[in-house]
């Protein structure tokens, strides 16, 4: 039985702003994309639709991940209650998490033009992303150690933490630099300061401190704009995007919806842990549109999409047709 995601079952005053926006869309394009993502998804505890309508982003991310796994031909066994996605055929388990805004910070759904253009605060935004992503990783590592490691179906499986970054209103513009710093210490920092006083480590994948984690699947672009890019939508939308070819050549894109191309997996990053107890099988996440990071002889190796790896994308509505 397919999930009915869009019929409100939550009191109106408790609906998430992103869900309200979704059901208020004049045409059915984005909702059709979500139905496709959700096809075959199993609501194991009967709470998914309620959470989708109340808290939205974490449920959105789970649906997106499920769509990605389907596109890769990875079968999910929903008979296990945890982690979120168990793939017995690949000896793989994936736990989903989002990095949300901190207390007192602006949530991503309240973004303004100033939030997206104020470069004077970019350093503070990068630091906030580091803090929030670090917290998300730590939470799921502890979850593995305290519970998942004792589950019989987890023996011998690669454990991947899948994180979407919603930490700041402009997280979709900041790419994967924060994750490179956290996992591989590309800036050779060793640590950074939370709240100006609490040291948190970088280089989490440089030794065996997180050997339970086989890799981190990361995105900041599996957002509303992703669904817009994939949908057949009425109205006029302009997409602004940046791709990077061969790690060095920026490709700036400005195109109307009819001329813009983006795949489901564009924008996904997979960071391999060179010190993992259960490394990820070669080729499991190998399509061109998933960018892979590996540490080889103390150097970071990355795969490259022939058309450039998607790093940033924004969507602007020029003339959305009214509902009929």
3-state SS, the chain, equals: CCCCCCCCCCCHHHCCHHHHHHHCCCCCHHHHHHHHHHCCCCCCCCCHHHHHHHCCHHHHHHHHHHHHHHHCCCCCCCCCCCCCEEEHHHCEEEEEEEECCCCCCCCHHHCCHHHHHCHHHHHHHHHHHHHHHHHHHHHHHHHHHHCHHHCHHHCCCEEEEEEEECCCCCHHHCCCHHHHHHHHCCCCCCEEEECCCEEEECCCCCCHHHCCCCEEEEECCCCHHHHHHHCCCCCEEEEEEEEEECCCEEEEEEEEHHHCCCCCCCCEEEEECCCCCCCCCCCCCCCCCEEEEEEECCEEEECCCCCCEEEEEEEEEEECCCCC
pLDDT of residue 323: 37
Could you tell me which of 144, 117, 119 has the C-alpha nearest to residue 214? Answer: 144
Task: Return the percentage of the chain with pLDDT > 90, whole number.
Answer: 78
Among residues 172, 165, 161, 266, the alpha carbon closest in space to that of 217 is found at: 161
- Residue 102 contacts residue 132 (beta carbons within 8 Å): yes
Which tokens in the block code for residue 293?
């990071």
Q: Under DSSP, is residue 283 helix (H, G, I), strand (E, B) or coil?
A: coil
Listed range (196-210, 226-240, 290-304) with the worst mean pLDDT: 226-240
Pure H helices in the chain: 17-23, 29-38, 48-54, 57-71, 113-117, 122-146, 177-184, 224-230
User: Which residue carries 């994939």 as its tokens?
Assistant: 230
* Structure-model confidence comparison of residues 297 and 233, the more confident one: 297
pLDDT of 282 > 90? The answer is no
Residues in a beta bridge with 252: 242
Q: Using the predicted structure, report yes or no on whether residue 43 has a pLDDT greater than 60.
A: yes
pLDDT at position 114 is 64
Which residues, at least 6 apart from 221, have a Cβ–Cβ distance to it below 8 Å?
172, 266, 267, 310, 312, 313
Cα–Cα distance, 268 to 20 (Å, whole number): 27
Tell me what the pLDDT averaged over the chain comes to. Answer: 92
pLDDT higher than threshold 50 for residue 294: yes
Question: CB of 150 within 8 A of CB of 158?
Answer: no
Q: Mean pLDDT over residues 224-228, rounded?
A: 95
Contact 140, 161 (CB under 8 A): yes
Residue with tokens 């394009």: 29
User: What confidence tens digit (pLDDT) does each residue in 165-190 have?
Assistant: 999 888 888 889 999 999 999 999 99
pLDDT: which is higher, 161 or 167: 161
Burial class, 285, CB count within 10 angstroms (exposed 0-12 / middle 13-18 / buried 19+): buried
pTM > 0.85? yes
What tokens were used for 237?
Answer: 């939308």
Length of the chain: 324
Q: What is the mean pLDDT of residues 135-156?
A: 97
Rounded CA Rg of the chain: 19
């Amino acid at each position: 039985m397919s999930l009915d995601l869009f019929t409100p079952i939550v009191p109106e005053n408790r609906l998430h702003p992103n869900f309200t926006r979704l059901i208020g869309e004049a045409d059915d394009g984005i909702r059709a994309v979500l139905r496709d993502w959700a096809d075959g998804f199993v609501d194991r505890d009967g709470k998914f639709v309620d959470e989708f309508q109340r808290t939205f982003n974490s449920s959105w991310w789970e649906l997106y991940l499920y769509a990605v796994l389907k596109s890769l031909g990875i079968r999910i066994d929903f008979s296990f209650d945890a982690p979120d996605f168990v793939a017995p055929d690949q000896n793989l388990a994936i736990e989903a998490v989002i990095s949300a805004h901190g207390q007192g910070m602006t949530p991503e759904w309240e973004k303004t033009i100033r939030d997206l253009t104020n470069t004077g605060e970019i350093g503070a935004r990068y630091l906030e992303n580091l803090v929030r992503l670090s917290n998300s990783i730590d939470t799921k590592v502890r979850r593995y150690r305290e519970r998942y490691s004792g589950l019989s179906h987890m023996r011998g499986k690669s454990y991947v933490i899948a994180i979407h970054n919603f930490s700041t209103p402009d997280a979709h513009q900041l790419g994967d630099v924060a994750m490179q710093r956290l996992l591989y210490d590309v800036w050779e920092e060793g640590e950074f300061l939370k709240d100006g006083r609490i040291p948190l480590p970088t280089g989490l994948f440089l030794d065996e401190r997180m050997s339970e984690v086989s890799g981190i699947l990361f995105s900041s672009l599996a957002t509303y704009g992703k669904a817009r890019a994939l949908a057949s939508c009425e109205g006029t939308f302009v997409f602004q995007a940046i791709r990077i070819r061969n790690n060095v050549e920026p490709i700036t894109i400005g195109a109307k919806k009819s001329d813009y191309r983006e795949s489901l997996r564009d924008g996904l990053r997979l960071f391999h842990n060179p010190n993992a107890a259960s490394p990820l099988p070669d080729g499991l996440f190998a399509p061109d549109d998933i960018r892979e990071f590996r540490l080889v002889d103390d150097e970071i190796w990355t795969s490259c999409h022939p058309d450039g790896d998607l790093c940033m994308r924004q969507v602007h509505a020029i003339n959305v047709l009214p509902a009929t």
